[in-house]
Amino acid sequence: MALPALAGSGVQFRRILAHFPQELSLAFAYGSGVFRQAGPNPSQSAHNMLDFVFAVDDSVTWHMMNLLKNRSHYSFLKLFGPKQINNIQSCGAGIYYNTLVQCNGRVKILTQNENGKLQAALVSNLKSAVTAAFLMLPESFSEEDLYMQIAGLSYSGDFRMIIGEDRSKVSNIVKPNMPHFQKLYSNILQACPQVVYKHQLGMLEIDKSPEGQFMQLMALPRTLQQKITSFVEPPGKNRDVEEILLQVAHDPDCGLVVHQGISGIVRSSSLIQSSKTILTAGLKKSVTYSMKKMYKMTKGWLRKTS
């Protein structure tokens, strides 16, 4: 459940969190209200919305408790109760999104339980992002190139990058926050046998042989593997995934195929999630939020043309 609120200082994060039910597996704040982003007026990020993501084990129970504490945060869906709210949440990416929530009032993890499966999933997600980026990069590249590729994964195929987002968003995220990316990924890069990581130079080299690419393709999440095979496999044939990925590994356009697979997943999720926003946030908030996004996108265009 993502709940943007007006950003405050770092000490206010936990105060804001205290307004919500505490049965959370993971809660983190992210976005320009948390980490500085590049732009003509980076100091203005302190006035940006602060985005929270809450991960819970039982969303029906959590929504029931939150309706008691923060009923005004919900749209008209509150009239249908927590089960119906959960049904709406379950569509698409499984996220219930709300925006423009007023609270008293940087990615920063605020609370995280000791759930072993969750810990493993977080690490696996970082490794998967690195592997996907490797497949779309050339044999030799800089750390900044890598982090630009990783940061761009969740925007690849997102229609909001065409309508509603600053085209420089990925660059604005990565360039001021290189130390944070290095902290997240340096151990993974150093432990990867297929990578020569020249840390002092900020450069990397990756095995781009068909054998190397096949190993990387086999390490991708199952959903992405299946999406990739759907682009390659002609209708009516029933080869197994491993055979198809071996073919992709030998394809000079292997990186492009991976990019298409990721874009297909993101495009579908972003369309469903954006459609749900009208229900979860309500029409008035959705329009207000969209207008703010359009304003930011227009400012980005003007910066490039001036």
pLDDT tens column, 13-48: 778 888 899 888 888 877 766 776 766 554 444 456
pLDDT at 144: 95
Q: How many residues belong to the chain?
A: 306
Beta-bridge mates of residue 3? none
pTM (2 decimals)? 0.74
CA separation (Å) from 270 to 91, 92, 280? 11, 8, 15
Q: Please write the tens of the pLDDT for every residue from 56-105.
A: 999 999 999 999 999 988 888 999 999 999 998 888 778 888 877 776 54
| The pLDDT of residue 215 is above 50 | yes
Number of DSSP helices (H) and strands (E) in the chain, helices first = 12, 7
For the chain, give the percent of residues with pLDDT over 70.
Answer: 75
Listed residue (250, 291, 262, 50) closest to 157, CA to CA: 262
Mean pLDDT of the chain: 81
Is the CB of residue 53 less than 8 Å from the CB of residue 1?
A: yes
Rounded to an integer, the average pLDDT of 170-181 is 90
Beta carbons within 10 angstroms of residue 201's beta carbon: 9
What is the rounded distance in angstroms from the CA atom of residue 160 to the CA atom of residue 305? 21
pLDDT band at 205 (very low <50, low <70, confident <90, very high): very high
* Domain extent listing, the chain: 5-113, 119-268
pLDDT at 237: 74
CA separation (Å) from 188 to 22, 130, 139, 192, 194? 32, 8, 18, 6, 11
Q: Please write the tens of the pLDDT for every residue from 242-276.
A: 999 999 999 999 999 999 999 999 888 877 777 77
Is the CB of residue 54 less than 8 Å from the CB of residue 42?
A: no
